[in-house]
Structure formats: structure tokens, C-alpha cells
Chains A and B, each alone.
Chain A
Amino acid sequence: MEIEAETHPLDKYLRTDRIPHIWCPGCGLGTVLNCFLHALEESDIDLKNLAIVSGIGCTGRVAGYLNVDSYHTTHGRAIPFATGLKLANPKLKVVVFSGDGDLFAIGGNHFIHAARRNIDMTVICVNNYNYGMTGGQLGPTTPLEAKTTTSPYGNVEHPFNLCHVAAASGAVYVARWTALHVRRLKESMKEALNKKGFTFIEVIASCPTTYGRRNKMPTGLDTMRYYKEKSVIKHGIDPSEADIEIGGDIIVGKFVDIEKPTFDEILKKLEEKIK
């Protein structure tokens, strides 16, 4: 059957003049972005009211590709920028789309404080276990013993368990999927977008060029097979039990979904009280 169409139905979400994107063959980022576009399509979000903020790195390019109000900030500063947007215009739907190095190394402090304040925003972290754009150095999520350009004999640093960090810092929604779980990821994105408060989704994604090749997963397909073999869905599990280890199960699912007043709501209440 031949399908005829002038444009792709999701093209409206993209700055098509910026395509083709810069991501490598086999990279998980295209899949994650595709899930996000579908989540937008299915969740009736007014694009005029949506702002996307990215930091630096491969994931940081998302802001440039989405055809909404978007800002590509400096390294680590996506969340403070997004916080400013939200405070200035509380009606805005604010989404931070960035990588593990950006959000949890140089920008780690901002993450925990935005979660602590329960700022109403969605943070999507694409975790590829290394600094992909600068050539694959070890970062805060590189699993113990994993090989990177700066740890050819294996990483000796304990990595962050991002979902545990998010939950411990106060996030009201915490989920983890891999780039293989496209349908579940999309559903999680919809839930997070429609929930008030600091919502966090970690997406474990392939980086064959700089991470996979050094860790026996030289292609995107190898990584997908690995995700298929190792992923175990455990909704509601205490995220502290979902550490990521080489060769171990990748625990995915929705870990946290609670209600808590947001920064905005508490502030508004106080303003009314002192009026």
C-alpha cells in the first residue's frame, strides 16, 4: 500500500528547516523525541503555552528542533532558566529536556533544589551514561566498571541512581524507561505533562558511537537487544532499589506518583493570607 502525504503528521511540532538532526545512527535520542511528539499530539497541550528548555550536549539539541518557544541554555543551567520562566508566567507548561551530564553533573545542584521546591515543571533526562557530545568521557551516571574514553580500564566512581535522587529530592512523579519502551514512555510523558508539580522521567538511551562501542554494544540494535533482555518493569518500587549496574537488571516503571502542593500554590496561598 502506498501512503501519500505532503508532510509527516508530526512535522508541525518540528522546525523542519533544522532537520536532519545531528544525532548519530543508532542514537536513542530520535526515538525519545518521537515519543515526546506523540505525547504532545495525544495530550491536547496548547503549543502556544508550551516552553522547552535544554542544556548543553546531544540532548540539548532538542530545544532547537522543536517548533515551540524554546531556549538552548548554557551547560547545566536549563533548570534555573525554566524556573524563571515558570515564575514569570505560572500558566506556562515548562519542559526541560536534557542529558545526564548536563542535569546531574554541572547542573546537579539546580535539579535537587527545583525538585525540593516542587516547581511545576517536567524534566526529561535522556541518560546515555556518558558525555556523548564531547567524545564519551565518564560522567555522573557512568556505571561502575564501564569503559569510557577517560576510564579505559573501567570506571571507579559510583554513579547516581537518577530516579532515587529525584524521589529523595521531592519529585512528585518519577518514572524510568528505556528507548525501547516507546509506548510506555509516551504514556509516562503524557502523565508527567498533565501532572502538577516537579515531574521527572529518566530515559535510558543508546549511544553506540561513544559509549556502546566501548562496552560491547557497538550498534543501536545491540543496545536495544540488551534493553529487551535486561529490562524488568516494577511499578511502585522504592527507587533506591533500582540502581543501575553493568550486566544487572534495568528496573523500569513508574516509581513515584504522589500529590504535594507546588511552589506556585504555596506562594499564592501565602499572598492571599497576607493581603
Chain B
Amino acid sequence: MIQKLPAKKMVVTGDYAAAYGALLCDVDVVAAYPITPQTLIVEEFSNFVNDGITDAEFIMVESEHSAMSACIAAQAAGARTYTATASQGLALMHEMLFIASALRLPIVMPVVNRTVAAPIGIWCEHNDSMPQRDTGWIQMACEDNQEVLDMIIMAYKIGERKDVLLPVMPCLDAFILSHTVEPVDAPSSDEVADFIGKYEPHAMLDPDNPMAIGTFTPPEYIQELRYQNHVAMENAKKAIKEVTKEFADEFGRDYHGLIEEYKCDDAEVVLITVGTVTGTAREVVDKLRQQGKKVGLIKLRFYRPFPREELRSIAENVEAIGVYDRAISYGSGGPLFIETRNALYGMDVPVLNFLAGLGGRDVVTGDVEKMYEILMKAKDSKPDKEIYWIGTRGVSI
């Protein structure tokens, strides 16, 4: 239970927004381990507990692996749970992520995207969350702190739907969001309670009705379970669209489902962005539009499930598509690029990949302008390569 909290306007960091979102959702159990730049999330949450604003159980465990294990067990016992992590912490959790999704436990865990060692760095890169692609978690990226707060609320609503029942991982860029203050509108706790409802576990550990979960299972059964998880993830597409619509109706902020289009209607070329670079790209689109260039922008919100149908429908009307990635799958390309090209299979449109901002390097308007410049050229003549390392020393474009 939480104290009644009125709707209010706050000026807060992305980490605070993530913690406050969990507070509004009246989570029961938080298990966590500190890691920069996530620490502030669970630290703020521990303040809510210590200040008596919530009676949630908060436990500092001895590693991220234990944090996810504790959340899985608590969720299996019928609690609504929450944790947060980043970088190495997420990598260490990897083993348990599969278990949360296969047991159909709708845990919500924001990931503050931070570069994975070696070498050690603390700044933004998406090479921590992208490799979690196949763990069965719904994964999405936020553009600003408002979206972080809103997404935590929507994550519980999407994940806990009976046709979904999957854990959700909203991602936010290290420092660019996690430690930067922005104005954020917070709904009241009553509004959120009405919106997400009470968590009703589909199955829970109960001594009066004993049940075993995650037990040794022979091949006769596992394949069907895998299929069910795939169906749930496909169902999540519908759930995401419906929940973002309901959220817009209730709170007035519309996130448009799995992707958000910006000036795509008559665009000749579009750039797909993820995370905070989207804000930078919006500015570039406005500038290029003023110059009469028909450019558009797609903010990719969800990586899992992947918005295949949406992208195909846009691709029908454009002449070149660029995909921005803040991570690289060595020997192939950026993860979103690989995914996009797969989604657009059979369509006759060039797809280019732009890598920038790896290890936390700033991506500025000039970098995004360069991406559009390459795309405009690709529209007129076949490009000689697919992958462009923007602003990389020793690499010519």
C-alpha cells in the first residue's frame, strides 16, 4: 500500500522518474544491487520505503543475479515486483531473465543503458540491453524523463495483461536521462491505481494449494511452452497499441504504440532512431524540412516485440531508410539495423546503418545531418556500402 499521492509537476532526473513510477504503481517488493548509473533509482525507492510513503519490502541483495532471483520468487508468490540495473549488472542477470519470461512473471525492470566492459566505462551504449533480445522480455527505449515515468506505468499494464504476462524492460540512456533533470508530470496515485488495476497473478505459490514451478520438464512439453511465449510476445503488439491509446485518453500523452512517426507522410527518406538521439534528430528534421528536403523520422520505441508491420507500411512509400544504432553486433551490423532489414525482407528499398555514440560519445545535430545527407544520396544512386561509422577516428565515410 502507498500513501495517497496527488498529481504534481516535478523537475526530476530520469532515475527519479523511474523510481517514482514504481512508487505510483504500488509495487510490493524491490530487490536490488547498486550499479552506476542505475543506483539512484533503487536508492530513491529506498527513501520512499524509509519515509513510510510505501510499505513495500526493499532488500539490498549481494548481486544483480540475486536481485532478479528475488524478484522472480516474490512475483511467483503473487507480489508486484520491481528492480533496476545497467551494463555489467544486466549481463550478470542474463541467466535469470529467461526464467522470468518463461514463468510468465510480469516483472518491470528499467535498464539504464551503459557500456559493457572491456574497457570499463560508465556512459551510454546499448550493448547491455540489445543482447537481451532473446530472453523473452518486452524491451523498449525512452526518449525523455516523462516517457520514463509513463512507461513504468504502462509497462505494468501491458505486462500484466492476461494475453501477455511477460516481463518488461524500459530502457533509458545513461546520464543523458538518468542524471539529467527535466520537468515531468506525475499523475496521482489514485489515477494510476485505476489505470493499472490490481495485480492478479495467473498462478502463485500458495501453501494451501501447493504447486511446483519451473520443474524439470521433458521434451514432450517444452516446445509448446516456447510457442506460447512467442504468441504472448505477438499479443504484446496489440496490447502495447491498446495501452498507449488508453494512456493517451486518460493522461493526455500519446506515445503512438510501437513506433512514433515524425514528418513521415511525404518523406522520401526516413531515419529510424532509438532513445535520446530521437530528440536531436527531430531538430535536424525540422531544419532540413525548412530547406525543402523531404525527410522523416521514426522513433523506434519497442525492440521486442519488433514493429515489423508498421515499418513495412512506411517502407512502401520511401526511397531510403537509415537505422541508427548505439551498439554493434560485430561482423554483422547494428542490432536494430539487422532487425529492420529482416522486417523489410523482399521490399525494394535501400536500408543503411549508422553507428554513432558508442561508449557514450555525444551524438550531435551535425552527426544526424550527416546521416540524412548519406540517405539523400542513397535515394538517387545505389550506395556502395551499408554500414557507416559516424564520427569514428580513422574510418572514412
Contact = CB atoms under 8 A, between A and B. Distances in A.
Given A106-B64, A140-B62, 7 more contacts: A74-B88, A74-B117, A75-B92, A106-B33, A134-B39, A151-B46, A152-B50
B275 interface: no
Nearest to A76: B63
Interface string A70-81: 001011100000
B163 to A, nearest CB: 37
A76 B47 CA distance: 27
A149 interface: yes
Majority SS of interface residues in chain A? Answer: loop
Contact of A106 (B36, B39, B47, B62): B62
Interface string A35-72: 00000000000000000000010000000000000001
A217 interface: no
Given A106-B33, A134-B34, A150 B63 contact: no
B63 A106 contact: yes
B36 A105 contact: no
A56 B47 CA distance: 25
B178 to A, nearest CB: 13
Interface string B19-48: 000000000000001111001101100110
Nearest to A155: B60
Contacts of B62: 105-106, 108, 140
A131 B60 CA distance: 11
A133 interface: yes
Nearest to A106: B63
A74 B86 CA distance: 13
Contact of A134 (B35, B47, B92): B35
A133 B36 contact: yes
Contacts of B39: 134-135, 137
Contact of B46 (A76, A106, A140, A149): A149
B343 to A, nearest CB: 34
A52 to B, nearest CB: 15
Q: Which bucket holds chain A's interface residue count?
A: 20 to 34
B303 interface: no
Nearest to B89: A75
Interface of A: 56, 72, 74-76, 105-106, 108, 131, 133-135, 137-140, 149-153
Given A72-B120, A140-B62, A150 B43 contact: yes
Contacts of A108: 62
B58 interface: yes
Interface in B39-73: 39-40, 42-43, 46-47, 50, 58, 60, 62-64
Contacts of A105: 33, 62-63
Nearest to A74: B88
7 contacts: A75-B35, A75-B92, A133-B36, A134-B34, A134-B35, A150-B58, A152-B50
Interface of B: 33-36, 39-40, 42-43, 46-47, 50, 58, 60, 62-64, 88-89, 92, 117, 120
Given A76-B63, A105-B63, A153-B50, A135 B88 contact: no
Contacts of B58: 150
A38 B230 CA distance: 61
A56 B92 CA distance: 14
A227 to B, nearest CB: 26
A149 to B, nearest CB: 5
Contact of A75 (B46, B50, B88): B88
Nearest to B37: A134
Contacts of B50: 151-153
Nearest to A152: B50
Nearest to A149: B43
The 4 closest A-B pairs by CB, nearest first: A134-B34, A106-B63, A105-B62, A150-B46
B205 to A, nearest CB: 25
Contacts of B64: 106
Contacts of B120: 56, 72, 74
Contacts of A106: 33, 62-64, 92
A72 to B, nearest CB: 6
Contact of B34 (A74, A131, A151, A153): A131
Nearest to B120: A72
**Max chain A Cβ within 10 angstroms of own Cβ: one of B34, B58, B117:** B34
A150 B46 CA distance: 6
A94 to B, nearest CB: 19
Nearest to B34: A134
Contact of B43 (A74, A135, A140): A135
Contacts of A75: 35, 63, 88-89, 92
A56 B35 CA distance: 10
Contacts of A153: 50
A137 B88 contact: no
Nearest to A108: B62
A151 B62 CA distance: 15
A180 B92 CA distance: 37
A144 to B, nearest CB: 14
Nearest to A133: B36
A108 B89 CA distance: 16
Contacts of B33: 105-106
Contacts of B89: 75
